[in-house]
């Protein structure tokens, strides 16, 4: 499956899209007909918020890509939790290799809640741009996000805070086999030599039985 980077999805997610994706409250049927409609979202009072969580390299971006493609007659916006990392202090920068970016405290959750609440109420917001080289979220200009029909929030810990969970109309957790995640993160060039050693040890052990 061809997937886009998170940055590509953010850029294209504000375009107009066409839907075959059906969700309660987003898609409705009229008069008992079996043919689903694709414009019922116009009757929905607030934007439909979808949370997509899962481990690093678990396939969250691919899931977001599929949702955006399926909802291509709606205005869809993708917001990434990575945009809300805290600025690292000078002391933290000195030992950045030991910094845990997967811990809830690594994120500015208060700002995330404020942004998502405003989007939920159809207000335009400025989403920070995080500089992963300098570990700062003060890149100028910030990303301006306008109200949309569907808002997708993607990240490893988007369901950790109950206030964020409460804003979601739909919650998706991408559960992937840990070995597959390891392969995606490290690449086959790293994995294959390791697997070769493991298999060799297993075969040696079996032969010695």
CA distances from 178 to 149, 158, 188, 201 (A): 34, 20, 15, 22
Task: Answer yes or no: is 1 within a domain.
Answer: no
pLDDT tens profile 70-128: 887 789 999 999 999 999 998 999 998 889 998 999 999 999 999 999 999 999 999 99
Q: Residues of 143-179 as b/e, b for ≥16 C-beta within 10 angstroms?
A: eebebbbbbbbbbbbbbebeebeebbbbebebeeeee
Task: Answer yes or no: is 193 within a domain.
Answer: yes
90 and 71 in a common domain = yes
pLDDT tens profile 149-173: 999 999 999 999 999 999 999 999 8
133 and 54 in a common domain = yes
Task: Answer yes or no: is 15 within a domain.
Answer: yes
The predicted model scores a pTM of: 0.65
Residue 200 structural domain: 177-209
Q: For residue 48, list its beta bridge partners.
A: 150
Please count the structural domains in the chain.
2
Task: Answer yes or no: is 53 within a domain.
Answer: yes
């Amino acid at each position: 499956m061809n997937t886009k980077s998170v940055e590509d999805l953010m850029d294209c997610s504000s375009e107009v899209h066409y839907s075959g994706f059906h969700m309660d409250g987003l898609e409705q049927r009229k008069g008992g007909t079996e043919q689903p409609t694709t414009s019922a979202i116009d009757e929905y009072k607030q934007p439909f918020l979808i949370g997509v969580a899962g481990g690093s390299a678990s396939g969250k971006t691919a899931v977001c890509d599929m949702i955006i493609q399926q909802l291509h007659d709606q205005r869809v916006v993708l917001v990434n939790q990575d945009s809300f990392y805290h600025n690292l202090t000078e002391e933290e920068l000195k030992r950045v290799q030991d910094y845990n970016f997967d811990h809830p405290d690594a994120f500015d959750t208060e700002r995330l809640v404020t942004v998502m609440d405003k989007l939920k109420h159809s207000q335009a917001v400025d989403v920070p741009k995080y500089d992963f080289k300098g570990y700062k979220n003060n890149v100028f200009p910030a990303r301006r996000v306008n109200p949309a029909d569907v808002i997708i929030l993607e990240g490893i810990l988007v369901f950790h805070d109950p206030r964020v969970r409460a804003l979601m109309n739909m919650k998706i957790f991408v559960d992937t086999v840990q070995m597959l995640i390891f392969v995606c993160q490290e690449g086959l060039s790293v994995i294959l030599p390791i697997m070769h050693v493991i298999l060799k040890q297993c075969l040696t052990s079996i032969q010695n039985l």
